[in-house]
Amino acid sequence: MARDLGAALDFYGATMGWTFRTGSLGEEFRVALADGVPVAGIGALAPSLQVAVAWTPYFAVEDADVTAARIRERGATVAVGPVALHTGRGALAADRDGAVFGIWQGRLLSNWETWRDTAPAWTRLHTRNAFDAAIFYGEVL
């Protein structure tokens, strides 16, 4: 999500070499393309929402409802969902240290890549308690 969608598109177009097209989620959502292949999505954040803006990794899960319940049982937050979205169900959550992540149950949208040379190569979690985070993500995902 981005507070200024135009600025975000300009930035990622220049730094990542991505091009963009309007996605099936409406005018305020763009699909980022690397060499014509969808690799990311960027949506405009409603001005009324006063939340932090950051890249959000989504993890594939077998059952979004069961996973959301496990997240809550372990003292973390499910902020949105699970909700039905196109080809599956998803939710937005935060771990006990506040790191935001999403879960996704279902198929990828058509033509999306799960990995390619132009994809991000590393996702790092910064946390105050690595042991607790390892247990949390191991139990939840």
Mean pLDDT of 14-22: 91
Domains of the chain: 1-53 (no CATH), 54-141 (3.10.180.10)
pTM over 0.75: no
- 33 DSSP β-pair partners: 19, 38
pLDDT digits (tens, 9 = 90+) for 48-57: 877 677 788 8
Average pLDDT of every residue of the chain: 85
Residue 6 has pLDDT above 60, yes or no: yes
H/E stretch holding 42: strand 37-43
State the burial class of residue 123 (Cβ atoms within 10 Å of its Cβ: 0-12, 13-18, 19+). exposed
Entry field: residues in the chain? 141
Contact status, residue 29 vs residue 44, Cβ threshold 8 Å: yes
How high is the pLDDT of residue 11?
A: 93
Over the stretch 68-119, which tens digit does the pLDDT of each residue have? 999 999 999 999 889 998 778 999 999 999 888 999 898 766 555 555 555 5
DSSP secondary structure letter of residue 75: T
